[in-house]
Structure 1
């Protein structure tokens, strides 16, 4: 019998992480529990210490209770602890930046978002001043420890995905400031970029695997990354619907569908679950297409083995993320 963690209680009538539970029985790919890193406690502690040091005023108790180190532990149960810690720190950076935009005036000011992200991107090439925004300084720290672990092709793709995230942050600010709701199709595309596509590039340097550039840009590999991205983003939307609804933020798939179709939040959440299940099928299909792609590209055994390691992390991400959503108090 499959066991899953208990979910936090939800507000009456609002979707919550508990609504994701039927997926465990419904989708075979989500049935098996994740393994945890044997050094999970130390990983969690190291991630939290870095977060508190990097964001002394931007890391409230709500984020401290989110347990990002445990999410990293599930993603990389067999990887050396320093690399798992690095991934956990990247998770912290993304969530701190998201909360900075979601919970304050920054997220409503397109120009301010653009200026901050310009400083973030500039820090890839130059050390920011000591008085730079904490988000910029923390990014520089992470980038300086991650980029040397990867090749030029990876660094180029990572920057492309950073630019997409920047554009999505700007669009979200524009939608908020003009109080316009995106259509479901607009939202799905925007959500994938706002979810941090660059995060799904990180298994390569964390694992010490370098994908050939032609594989990274191939159809099956892009399908794998986009499906994994969509599944985790949409699961997050079900869990966070109450939070976003309470603060009047429309950037949530459940809320967008409910408005577009004129249905209840419960009905919209049920449709999001259907779409999540379909995207997990897409994720599995993309993974099954990889051996043929390896052969087409005439990859060496070593390259195919490295790519398979990364693919396994992406295949396991939805279950790990689901468990984290059910255990974490972030959306309680």
Structure 2
């Protein structure tokens, strides 16, 4: 648990986005039956898109909700299962997705419902982006897919992090934090010029945001990850520092609050100094970027509170077995 000084905002097009995402997922075979559709609604995947991108247009909010629908059961949850313990199979899937991101191949290299759906989704995610932003979003989504291979190798070898700083660097990739933030610049935000996006202050701002979200998510997903294993900050804290589960959760909350407080101070001092040093159009982009990180933190906090996704250990439904595995794999 932690507190922030920023408001929770929600996109007014959330209901339209929910219906659009359900229809799109049905079309690509990513939902099967009433229970699957109820899970999408109860997991509040349209809401998390609306929290992250409160200023997106109706069309953009619909695309964001489709992305969230794709991100979880059709992709992320698959890698918690058997396939996620086979680095070679994960690399095959992720290579196909990276090919789509960079425009060098289509879904034919791994022709499954999840990959076909992503090819359709990606083209609309990047439509109208400037070349610098498209290059950046491709880099960060490639890092996301690459991190799935890293996690599969870690599962196979039994590797477990003992250093939180190292863990947070990987976790920013495994949640696609920076790739999601990039989309905030396109979907209702203001694009940060490339000569400023790499500034150390902005690097720290986005890393802090990613760390806070990681701590919140890891705290809420314990029911599932106590069974499936995999990397989790609460497990890491218990493993490296000893103590009880409740003590580890309390430490995670303390760390999250410490990072929120650091972010507030960073914005008040270093970011405000940077804002004063640039021209008016760049000032708007820098302030808008801070808001993207605020929406990311507050939106995730609220989503973790209202979703049913973490209520219990998730068992992969039988119908989903073929979403990411091609015939003959």
1:278 and 1:54 map into 2 onto residues whose CA distance is 43
Q: Shift of residue 153 of structure 1?
A: 1.4
Q: Matches of residues 286-301 of structure 1 in structure 2 within 5 Å?
A: 286-288=266-268, 289-296=270-277, 298=278, 300-301=279-280
SS of the residue aligned with 1:35? coil
1:148 and 1:290 map into 2 onto residues whose CA distance is 30
Matched, 1:215 2:185: no
| Matched residue, 1:328 | 307
| Matched residue, 1:257 | 237
Q: Shift of residue 142 of structure 1?
A: 2.2
**Residues 9, 295 of structure 2: 8 Å contact kept:** no
Question: Structure 1 57/179 Cα, relative in aligned 2: closer, same or farther at 3 Å?
Answer: farther
2:78 and 2:114 map into 1 onto residues whose CA distance is 9
Which residues of structure 1 form unaligned runs of 5+?
1-19
1:201 to 174, 177, 182: 182
2:264 and 2:25 map into 1 onto residues whose CA distance is 34
| Matched residue, 2:63 | 86
SS of the residue aligned with 2:5? helix
**Residues 185, 292 of structure 2: 8 Å contact kept:** no
Matched, 1:157 2:136: yes
Q: Shift of residue 260 of structure 1?
A: 2.0
Which residues of structure 2 form unaligned runs of 5+?
312-329
Matched, 1:318 2:297: yes
| Matched residue, 2:22 | 48
Deviations 1:170-229 (A, max 9, x none): 221112112232213332222121111311211011126322101111111111211111
Q: Shift of residue 163 of structure 1?
A: 2.9
2:119 to 129, 133, 140: 140
2:53 and 2:187 map into 1 onto residues whose CA distance is 9
| Matched residue, 1:73 | 50
2:265 and 2:121 map into 1 onto residues whose CA distance is 33
Question: Structure 1 65/54 Cα, relative in aligned 2: closer, same or farther at 3 Å?
Answer: farther
Q: How many residues align?
A: 302
| Matched residue, 1:100 | 78
Q: Shift of residue 331 of structure 1?
A: 0.5
Q: Matches of residues 183-194 of structure 1 in structure 2 within 5 Å?
A: 183-185=162-164, 186-194=166-174
TM-score by length of 2: 0.83
SS of the residue aligned with 2:160? coil
| Matched residue, 1:239 | 220
SS of the residue aligned with 1:207? coil
**Residues 185, 289 of structure 2: 8 Å contact kept:** yes
1:229 and 1:93 map into 2 onto residues whose CA distance is 20
1:227 to 208, 214, 226: 208
2:5 to 8, 24, 29: 29
**What RMSD in Å do the two structures reach over aligned CA positions?**
2.3
